Amino acid sequence: MKEGPNLERIETNERRAALQELRRQNTTLQTGWSRDPKKFPVDYTLPVLQVFKDFLDRAIKNSQSLDILCRPWAPSSGLNAEGEEEKIDLPSWMASLSRKPFQETKERNMVRFNPDPLVGAALFRHRIYGASGGEELYCDIDLKNPNSKRITVKGFVLDTIGEIWDSAAFGNVPAIWLTEGGGWTDVEEVPPGELWRTLVADRNGHGSEPDRWYPLVFKSAAKDRGLSYGFETYRLIYESGNSAVSEVFKRVQAVVWNRRLIRTQGQYMKWWTNGKHESGALGLVPREARKDDLICIIFGCSVPLVLRKIVATPSRNGSNPTIHGRIGKGPEETNSNTVNSTTANTAPEELYTLIGECYIDHMMDGEAIFYKNESDVESQKFVLE
């Protein structure tokens, strides 16, 4: 492995200028969108999963982006050709409509159920982030087998989840996030940069760089009740009477809602600071994420993804494999060495479940590609199910 650059060289004006240029390129309009959209014929005699795969294949090729893997679009149930209700068993890389940020209640009110997608709404024709830089997209959807739930993408493992804290229920920031997670101990000081950037995912509500006064708003809000109270975003948005406070905490609420704060194990951070720090980066992950899940940069996706490795034995008839166990330390995990006696002679293969998108501080604008090139990290293919 090459020797990592020292911290002084990393913080030069030239490096900051390079990252600003990367950000500028990532937020310009993309040219991959077709200005002459073609009709997408739907064959209602095909299995629903096949139609969904055909649609995704078309969308990815037209946009030259994998961001649709993070946008909720796929219904998990509907009426079949006979008019009967049918449940659709979606693979992990088809984001269900149940993940939509706002959904209708029984009283027909639209309320927030989930955080905003980090990749932005589908109407955005520009990229908010550029985690995978200019690396060429690779995507292979198994279209030949109508029952297959596999897609193959390419990228590399950036880090793994180390420490992980409770989710931000209803968009409220737990006190432990501020103190233990973010290392904010003095309410008379502004929060550490990595903390306040993470709470807003380093963007404002329009997808641009946050204003410099953001940390001052956090300091002011914390002084009101102290760090041990955390941040009750609804109260700060609607009861503060300050437009700056409302702006910042609307963004916080949209970002942290039901997400979990993490600190990575530090696989890249040792390189980033020339081995001076063992701790990893602060970040936000889906509520379903667990310790030891992988943080991956997938080429063609503008944000890092959380993947979980699973071990499976391929079925001899080409259908979905038998899952024997998951790699991880969650309490519900089974032993990864368990082998089904009927398939004991079949070699296991590595598959991955897509848990969702994530924010990793200082890794959202192409910095991870610098890390990969400097550290001789190998690219690899990931088969998702």
Per-10-residue mean pLDDT of the chain, 385 residues long, equals 41 54 51 57 85 94 94 88 84 96 91 96 82 94 93 96 96 97 96 97 94 96 94 94 95 98 80 58 97 97 97 55 42 39 56 98 91 84 97
Give the bridge partners for 313, in sequence order.
322
C-alpha 154/C-alpha 377 separation (Å) is 13
Do the Cβ atoms of 255 and 284 come closer than 8 Å?
yes
C-alpha 210/C-alpha 204 separation (Å) is 5
Count the residues in the chain. Answer: 385
Do the Cβ atoms of 285 and 165 come closer than 8 Å?
no
Note the pLDDT of residue 111: 93
Q: For residue 281, give the nearest of 267, 293, 294, 291 by alpha carbon.
A: 267
| DSSP state at residue 288 | T
Q: Which phi-psi region, left, alpha or beta, contains residue 161 (left: φ > 0; alpha: ψ -120 to 50)?
A: beta
Burial 253-290 (b: 16+ CB within 10 A, else e): bbbbbbbbbbbbbbbbbbbbbeeeeeebbbbbbbbebb
Where do we find the tokens 């200005």? 35
Cα Rg of the chain (Å, integer): 22
Note the pLDDT of residue 11: 45
C-alpha 216/C-alpha 227 separation (Å) is 14
Note the pLDDT of residue 334: 38
Note the pLDDT of residue 26: 53
Tokens of 192: 């550490």
pTM of the model: 0.82
C-alpha 208/C-alpha 127 separation (Å) is 10
Q: Name the pairing type of β-strands 151-167 and 322-326.
A: unpaired
Tokens of 108: 């027909």
What's the one-letter identity of residue 196? Answer: W
Residues near 77 by Cβ (< 8 Å), separated by ≥ 6? Answer: 85, 86, 87, 88
Backbone angles phi, psi at 204, to 5 degrees: -90, -175
C-alpha 80/C-alpha 88 separation (Å) is 10
C-alpha 197/C-alpha 262 separation (Å) is 14
C-alpha 164/C-alpha 262 separation (Å) is 4
Do the Cβ atoms of 197 and 218 come closer than 8 Å?
no
Packing angle between helix 214-225 and helix 243-256, nearest 10 degrees? 90
